A = this chain, B = another copy of it.
Amino acid sequence: MKKSPLFTDLYELTMANAYYQSHKKDDYAVFELFFRKNPFGGEFSVVAGHDQVKEALDNFRFTSDELNYLKSLATFSKSDPSFFKLLEEINLDDVEIFGFPEGSIIFPHEPILQVRGPLIKVQLLESMLLNHINFGTLIATLARRSWLVAEGKTLVEFGMRRAQGPNGAMMASRSSFIGGFSASSNTLAGHLYGIPVVGTMAHSFVQSFFTIDSETLIWKGKSISHLLEKVKDEDGLHTNEGELGAFIAYSKVFPDSAILLVDTYNSLSSGIPNALRVFKILKALGHRPYGIRLDSGDMAYLSKEARRMMDKAGFPELKIFCSNELDENIILSLKEQGALIDSFGIGTKLVTAALDSSLGGVYKLVEINGKPRIKISDQPTKRTIPSCKKIYRLSGQDGMYLMDIMVNEKEKELMPFEDVMAYHPFFDQLKSIVIPSKVEPMLVPLFMNGKWLGETNLHSIRERSLREMKKMREDIIRHKNPTPYKIAVSGHLKELMNSTYQTEMGIPVLK
């Protein structure tokens, strides 16, 4: 799907028209894209989706075909033709986007993106930015949570077949790599993003073999039928012949990397014995077989049985790869049961974020022509925090992250070892004095003068993100009942919140 500025909710365009007619199009606006609640019951999130944003910004031009479509809509039938002229000539040269670098750990109410520029332009970007950042961040966060519970085991993403459309698959592959996954089955993601790709075999491959024909037993020009007879005699089992033939045929092509899928008929009585026969043949021919994949049944039990059978057959180095509707909770449970699994393949529940299928990111106007703006809600924690901000991440004496603090953009720079009063953004009584050992400004320029400035090397993004993770206190990132990370505002910002609210709302009179 080619990127197009028509990828937007229609109301962005009707508002654009109204801004234009009201001579407000060049009002200088600041929007912030943020969420109010971490997904999955956690207390952190991981920013992703920047590649899609970059591509959309790079292609933000209306074609004449697209403009003709807009002109044809009843909604715009009475619009001044100069509005379409304006759209035709629109460019983003005077739009500036700041934000947390991709892969950053981020928390509620912090601007993932801060978008500044002429009102008409920054409004038109809303739907696209939300779409890309909401989904990217959702999946990177979920992947990071699996990465935490997997504690060093290899994680592979292979959700393409049930992902929410092609981009659902592509963005999930990329975001889960940022989150900590090691590889994907998505070959196009390998090609376009440089993510390592892995693949095993499907049941259909096994099913397509009925038996072992004589040709299958020719290996590099020589018959291996004597080897086959020997390994069959060793176990004396009656297994599925088609499956055995399939394993031999596949292993001939991938003798050092084949991961044999053992559950087409029965993992314990046919699949694993057949795989071991082939591994013995491979070993006799000088190869180092790789491993097996379990794809159904009780993974805790089967992995322990498989390990026992493989160890007994002299293959302690063989890997066990598991894939069967896994998610972070099942990985945790398998660990508790002592499952012996080397690598987890995670698909559907990761790429569709089954536990929490969307991130509630919003895009709110926080300042216009230098004046702070607020969106009111009956729920105090759903109010927006007005004005264009800077965000600092403060570290304590132990080097760990202590809190993030938001200040108005015009406030003076925070400095290490200088004390600052930090207020809870919504509960006025809660405050603390912080003397940070380290102060990091979190918003960096991502887009300026029509050029993307953010990091684009996916491997660098992933490494930086995993490095940041080491400075997160364990109680904040633990799986069960994590502690919320502290997000604070400065005294000045706190006052601005209160005064802006009073200006817009006054005090309601109930009678």
CA A51 – CA B502 in complex, angstroms?
Answer: 52
The reply to whether B131 and A162 form a contact with Cβ atoms under 8 Å apart is yes
A126 adjacent to chain B (CB < 8 Å):
yes
The reply to whether B166 and A253 form a contact with Cβ atoms under 8 Å apart is no
The reply to whether A162 and B254 form a contact with Cβ atoms under 8 Å apart is no
> Given contacts A9-B199, A187-B10, A505-B265, is CB(A249)–CB(B22) below 8 Å?
yes
> Given contacts A18-B205, A202-B15, A364-B204, is CB(A160)–CB(B352) below 8 Å?
no
Shortest Cβ distance from A265 into B: residue: B376
Q: Which of A67-75, A96-104, A328-336, A484-492 contacts B (4 or more CB under 8 A)?
A: A67-75
CA A31 – CA B378 in complex, angstroms?
Answer: 55
The reply to whether A166 and B365 form a contact with Cβ atoms under 8 Å apart is no
CA A307 – CA B493 in complex, angstroms?
Answer: 40
CA A200 – CA B9 in complex, angstroms?
Answer: 9
A322 adjacent to chain B (CB < 8 Å):
no
Task: Mark out the residues of chain A between 335 and 373 whose CB falls within 8 Å of any chain B CB in the assembled complex.
Answer: 348, 352-354, 357-361, 363-365, 368, 371, 373
Distance between A166 CB and nearest chain B CB, rounded to angstroms: 5
The reply to whether B257 and A74 form a contact with Cβ atoms under 8 Å apart is yes
One digit per residue, 1 when the CB lies within 8 angstroms of any chain B CB and 0 when it does not, for chain A 171-212 equals 110000000000001111011000001111111110110100
Task: Mark out the residues of chain A between 129 and 152 whose CB falls within 8 Å of any chain B CB in the assembled complex.
Answer: 130-132, 134-135
> Given contacts A170-B1, A216-B22, A354-B357, is CB(A11)–CB(B373) below 8 Å?
no
A499 adjacent to chain B (CB < 8 Å):
no
The reply to whether B6 and A188 form a contact with Cβ atoms under 8 Å apart is yes
How many A residues have CB within 8 A of the partner chain? 114
CA A79 – CA B254 in complex, angstroms?
Answer: 9
A164 adjacent to chain B (CB < 8 Å):
yes
Most chain B beta carbons < 10 A, residue from A134, A166, A190: A166
CA A321 – CA B490 in complex, angstroms?
Answer: 39
Shortest Cβ distance from A357 into B: residue: B352
Q: Return chain B residues, CB-CB under 8 Å to A160.
A: 7-9, 127, 130-131
Task: Mark out the residues of chain A between 1 and 46 whose CB falls within 8 Å of any chain B CB in the assembled complex.
Answer: 1-4, 6-15, 17-19, 21-24, 27, 29, 31
Q: Which of B126, B364, B378 contacts A297 (CB 8 A)?
A: B378
The reply to whether A18 and B253 form a contact with Cβ atoms under 8 Å apart is yes
Q: Return chain B residues, CB-CB under 8 Å to A296.
A: 377-378
A508 adjacent to chain B (CB < 8 Å):
yes
A167 adjacent to chain B (CB < 8 Å):
yes
A498 adjacent to chain B (CB < 8 Å):
no
Q: Return chain B residues, CB-CB under 8 Å to A1.
A: 1, 166-167, 170
A112 adjacent to chain B (CB < 8 Å):
no
CA A207 – CA B135 in complex, angstroms?
Answer: 27
Q: Return chain B residues, CB-CB under 8 Å to A66.
A: 191
Q: Return chain B residues, CB-CB under 8 Å to A504.
A: 240, 242, 265
Distance between A21 CB and nearest chain B CB, rounded to angstroms: 5
Q: Which of B4, B158, B249 contacts A188 (CB 8 A)?
A: B4
CA A365 – CA B206 in complex, angstroms?
Answer: 10
Distance between A39 CB and nearest chain B CB, rounded to angstroms: 11
CA A3 – CA B13 in complex, angstroms?
Answer: 29
The reply to whether B187 and A9 form a contact with Cβ atoms under 8 Å apart is yes
The reply to whether A161 and B127 form a contact with Cβ atoms under 8 Å apart is yes
Most chain B beta carbons < 10 A, residue from A126, A197, A297, A363: A197
A223 adjacent to chain B (CB < 8 Å):
no
Q: Which of B21, B23, B187, B200 contacts A6 (CB 8 A)?
A: B187
The reply to whether A166 and B205 form a contact with Cβ atoms under 8 Å apart is no
Q: Return chain B residues, CB-CB under 8 Å to A165.
A: 52, 131-132, 135, 164-165, 167-168, 170-171
A250 adjacent to chain B (CB < 8 Å):
yes
Task: Mark out the residues of chain A between 301 and 323 whose CB falls within 8 Å of any chain B CB in the assembled complex.
Answer: none
Q: Which of B23, B130, B354, B377 contacts A161 (CB 8 A)?
A: B130
CA A21 – CA B252 in complex, angstroms?
Answer: 9
Q: Which of B18, B170, B216, B375 contacts A250 (CB 8 A)?
A: B18
The reply to whether B9 and A365 form a contact with Cβ atoms under 8 Å apart is no
Q: Which of B161, B163, B191 contacts A69 (CB 8 A)?
A: B191
CA A225 – CA B122 in complex, angstroms?
Answer: 31
* 19 additional A-B residue pairs with CB within 8 Å, beyond A18-B205, A31-B204, A265-B376: A9-B187, A11-B185, A12-B202, A14-B199, A18-B252, A22-B252, A23-B215, A52-B165, A75-B257, A132-B165, A132-B166, A135-B165, A162-B358, A164-B172, A203-B365, A207-B365, A208-B365, A266-B376, A352-B357
Closest 3 CB pairs of A and B: A10-B199, A165-B167, A11-B199
